[in-house]
Homo-oligomer: A and B are copies of this chain.
Amino acid sequence: MSDTTRRAFLKGAAVAGAAVTGSRAVAQQADPAITELQPWMRYLGEGVDARPYGHPSEHEAHVVRRNVEWLTADPVSSVNFTPLHELDGIITPNGLCFERHHAGIAEVDPAQHRLMINGLVDTPLVFTMADLMRFPRVNRVHFLECAANSGMEWAGAQLNGCQYTHGMIHNVMYTGVPLRLLLEEAGVKTGGKWLLAEGADASAMTRSIPMEKALDDCLVAFKMNGEALRPEQGYPVRLVVPGWEGNMWVKWLRRLEVGDQPWEHREETSKYTDLLDNGRARKWTWEMDAKSVITNPSPQAPITHGRGPLVITGVAWSGRGTVPRVDVTTDGGVTWHEARMSGPSMDKSMHRFYYEMDWDGAPLLLQSRAMDSTGYVQPTKDMLRQVRGENSIYHNNGIQTWAVNANGEAENVEIS
């Protein structure tokens, strides 16, 4: 390392809290481009009246949600994926939050929409959106992960890219009314132990939620990342069930029924249960276990700069709390290095980690391993299969492996 590189290395270690490798090797000491007058330096651009609601640069047109056509019979009951490999930090922009619908995007008129609370309550109530805005609100950042995220991986390395293997997740700041306040307003009767949440879409998506969770940290949310919910995310109002599988976060929320037992509807019996080897199914597997994935480098984001300073980064989350630590290995688990966490660490929210290294150009076997605030450690896929078999689609939080070859390309592989 040159003196300046070493100086950056040492000072960086003191400040950034992690090894810092200078890019002196890649930065040029002279470059004609810097002296050229580019078009944007010579001509006036569009004014402040051109974009009332802004959009990304045309050079970012490749940063989009993508679906996999062969995965489902029809796009109206399907899923698309968040481009995790194109993002950084912990906030998912609203336009890139993955979608999962059972009957397409319901285009709800907020003026006509109503939320009803009925069943075992003292007073059945119906709320307009304006009514909901008169209750106290809170703001919380939470990840939403589909139970089927990484589901294809039960059968071994399948999809080539973290957008497809891990992109059924997003992380946004919600503004909403604590569900508990609305239930208290209606008055839950003594026998009321369960809640049925029903959506206003054509599938009338429904899920049973235990009263303990409903009274704990659930929200009836109307804003995401500061603005109104997007139509595909349940506009004008959705349920937020922190840390629990995404299908329970009922979108276009129209009804909350209080009952004395679970409803055992289709989406919680034939679907969203985990069939084990012995033919029995795990039911009510609501909580999302601690999980992580390296987003860069990855199959959709190869190393293009050759040897030298390399930034490895990814995301981690847990349905049980925070993720204080993530370890990274570059040799398939022979040696692990503690990654540097950067950005706010919040309950049941996504966390961002980095591991900086000098790449010598040799092939890498990249993995990340999350440890959450309960002490739970993310398991390998093989460990999960030993316990749950391979019949399941859901709750695969196993460690992901990317094989990076000498030319910087990465692919989805499994190692034992």
Q: Which residues of A contact B (CB under 8 A)?
A: 4-5, 7-8, 11-12, 15-16, 18, 20-24, 26-31, 33-34, 38, 40-60, 63-67, 74-76, 78-80, 86-97, 99-101, 103-114, 116, 122-128, 130-141, 173-175, 178, 180-181, 184-187, 200-202, 204, 223, 225-228, 230-232, 235-236, 252, 254-255, 304-305, 308-311, 313, 340, 342-344, 346, 352, 354, 356
Contact = CB atoms under 8 A, between A and B. Distances in A.
B45 A76 contact: yes
A107 to B, nearest CB: 6
Contact of A40 (B21, B127, B201, B226): B201
Contact of A89 (B12, B63, B226, B352): B226
Nearest to A100: B48
Given A38-B200, A346-B344, A137 B88 contact: yes
Given A47-B75, A89-B226, 7 more contacts: A34-B114, A38-B200, A40-B106, A47-B78, A59-B109, A86-B227, A136-B356
B40 A202 contact: yes
A135 B311 contact: yes
B343 A40 contact: no
B175 A89 contact: yes
Contacts of A354: 136-137
A125 B4 CA distance: 12
Given A89-B173, A185-B8, A53 B48 contact: no
10 contacts: A15-B181, A20-B135, A22-B135, A22-B184, A41-B201, A47-B101, A57-B236, A93-B225, A134-B310, A135-B311
Contacts of A58: 107
Interface centre among A7, A48, A100 (most CB of B within 10 A): A48
Contacts of A92: 226
Nearest to A233: B54
B26 A108 contact: no
B227 A87 contact: yes
A147 to B, nearest CB: 17
A31 B122 CA distance: 17
Contact of A54 (B51, B94, B100): B94
B184 A8 contact: yes
A41 B204 contact: yes
A131 B344 contact: no
Contacts of A130: 26, 304-305
B48 A101 contact: yes
Given A45-B103, A46-B105, A204-B41, A27 B227 contact: no
A7 B12 CA distance: 54
Contacts of A252: 40
A227 B60 contact: yes
A188 to B, nearest CB: 10
Given A8-B184, A114-B34, A45 B75 contact: no
Nearest to A69: B49
